[in-house]
Amino acid sequence: MRVTLVRSWPHRYEGCEVELPDGACVADALQQAGWALTGEFVGLAVFGAAATEATLLHAGDRIELLRGLQCDPKQARRRRADGFVRRR
């Protein structure tokens, strides 16, 4: 089966496709691609749903390597809303 792996940074992204046997998991795909869950990448998802290295894959899945949040999403929304109100 063929799966896609993607990871991104501000202003750029990288992706690759790997061919795996049936019954493969996320760890197998990472190994095949030569990628690791280290450094700035702290989480995994399959089509946006939280995953682990043990998550079983299906043909056509997209594995996403996730970076840590730089700020609390609620705080970011509040700051944007405050800025919008002040500009009016």
- The closest alpha carbon to 25, from 48, 44, 6, belongs to 44
Name the percent of the chain lying above pLDDT 70: 93
> What are the structural domain ranges in the chain?
2-87
Say whether pLDDT at 84 is over 70: no
Say whether pLDDT at 72 is over 80: no
Q: Does domain 2-87 have CATH number 3.10.20.30?
A: yes
- Tell which wins on pLDDT, 72 or 30: 30
Model confidence over 30-56: pLDDT tens digits? Answer: 999 999 888 888 899 999 999 999 999
Q: What is the mean pLDDT of the chain?
A: 89
Which residue is it, tokens 């896609």? 4
CB neighbourhood size of 81 (10 A): 10
DSSP state of 48: T
